[in-house]
Amino acid sequence: MELDQASLTNYLVFITRKLSKLVNKAHFALSECELCQNETFAHPFLCEHCINDLPLFSYRLLHNNLLNWPAVDKLFPNREFEQLLCLAPYIAPFDHWLRQFKYHQRFELTDLFAFLLERLCESQFKHTNNCALLAVPIHIKKWQQRGFNQTHLIAKALEKKCNLDYLENALRRVDFSDSQVGQSGKLRRVRLKNAFEITNQSPQLPDNVILLDDVITTGSTTNTICRLLKEKGVKHITVLTVALTLPKKHLINFNTQ
Ligand SMILES: [Zn+2]
């Protein structure tokens, strides 16, 4: 069978359009969703439906500060920070993701956490003058053992997304101690008292600091650093975290199966 010139042209146009649609689809559908395996468009790691289903804290009545929730306010009676912004309680899938990130080097989670934290912060720091981002450091020995500091990786990603000034060398952990799991609150506080220092490698600290950590459990580590920062003249500290460990009685509004 012979194709005439017009039919051949139409056929080629049809094929070109089909290919173009396929290429566009492949471009937007970067990968499949971690939780439901559907195509992802909102983020390479999660689909829009699963993002909307995440057990995130609601800030609707909290004026951008989790400390305005009485249950959280009571958790940190002697705090040295003014604002707490946290994505979610330390429950699934965040507990699983944070362990995977920390102990199984799932670095693709860095961008997911930064993406969600950026949504949480929205643009509230973009117009804050005299403001910098700091990350809770780990001891150099632990950094060498693990090969990375997960909080530093998130801070690097957040720095770009939110256009923040990240002072990555401002804080140093000088006391090397193994995991503090199982230690009493009092013992943790004693050990933490001299665990951190502010280095001379950064310019003068700004009035406003955003202190990033991956998880807050008792808040002792965070508070120790905040106290140091306040001694150095910092006036307002926002603690920013991926997850917060909450007592079980406060988890009734979250999907915890
Ligand atoms: Zn999904």
Which residue type sits at 34? E
Tell me which residue of 170, 251, 173 sits closest to 211, measured CA to CA.
Answer: 170
Which positions of the chain have pLDDT values less than 70? 1-3, 20-30, 123, 177-185, 188-189, 202, 253, 255-257
State the pairing for strand pair 171-173/196-198: antiparallel
In a domain, 49, yes or no: no
CA of 224 to the centre of ligand 1 (A): 38
How far is the centre of ligand 1, averaged over its atoms, from the C-alpha of 52 (Å)?
9
Residues 60-107 pLDDT 10s:
889 999 999 999 999 999 999 999 999 999 999 999 999 999 999 999
- Whether the CA torsion 93, 158, 47, 86 is positive or negative: it is positive
Q: Is 8 a domain residue? A: no
| 146 CA distance to ligand 1 middle (Å) | 30
Task: Answer yes or no: are the C-beta atoms of 158 and 117 closer than 8 Å.
Answer: yes
The domain total for the chain is: 1
Percentage of the chain beyond pLDDT 70 is 87
Output the CA 62–ligand 1 centroid distance in Å: 28
Distance between Cα 163 and ligand 1 center (Å) = 28
Give distance in angstroms: CA of 47 to centre of ligand 1: 4
> Domain of 63: which CATH number?
3.40.50
Q: Over the stretch 185-202, which tens digit does the pLDDT of each residue have?
A: 677 667 777 899 999 876
Residue 33 domain-assigned (yes or no)? no
Taking Cα atoms as reference points, which of 164, 185, 115, 169 lies closest to residue 137?
Answer: 169
The whole domain housing 114 covers 57-250
Ligand 1 centroid to residue 122 C-alpha, Å? 23
Task: Kindly state whether residue 76 falls inside one of the protein's structural domains.
Answer: yes
Indicate whether 16 belongs to any domain.
no
Task: With respect to residue 37, please indicate whether it lies within any of the assigned structural domains.
Answer: no
pLDDT at 125: 79
- Give the integer Cα–Cα distance in Å for 50 and 62: 24
pLDDT attached to residue 144: 87
Residue 74 lies in a domain: yes
Query: Residue 209: enclosing H or E segment and its boundaries?
Result: strand 208-216
Q: Which residues make up the environment of ion ligand 1, defined by Cβ < 5 Å?
A: 33, 35-36, 47, 50
Paired tokens of 174: 């000088």
Q: How far is the CA of 93 from the centre of ligand 1 (A)?
A: 12
Which stretches of 34-91 are DSSP H helices? 48-53, 70-73
CA of 21 to the centre of ligand 1 (A): 23
Whole-number pLDDT of residue 184: 67
Q: pLDDT at position 15, please? A: 78
* Alpha carbons 193 and 196: distance in angstroms, whole number: 8
- Report if residue 48 sits inside a domain: no
> What is the residue-wise DSSP string for 152-192?
HHHHHHHHHHHT--B-TTSEEE-------TT--HHHHHHHH
| Residue 69 CA, ligand 1 centroid: distance in Å | 30
For tokens 């603690």, name the residue: 239
CA 249 to chain centre: 25
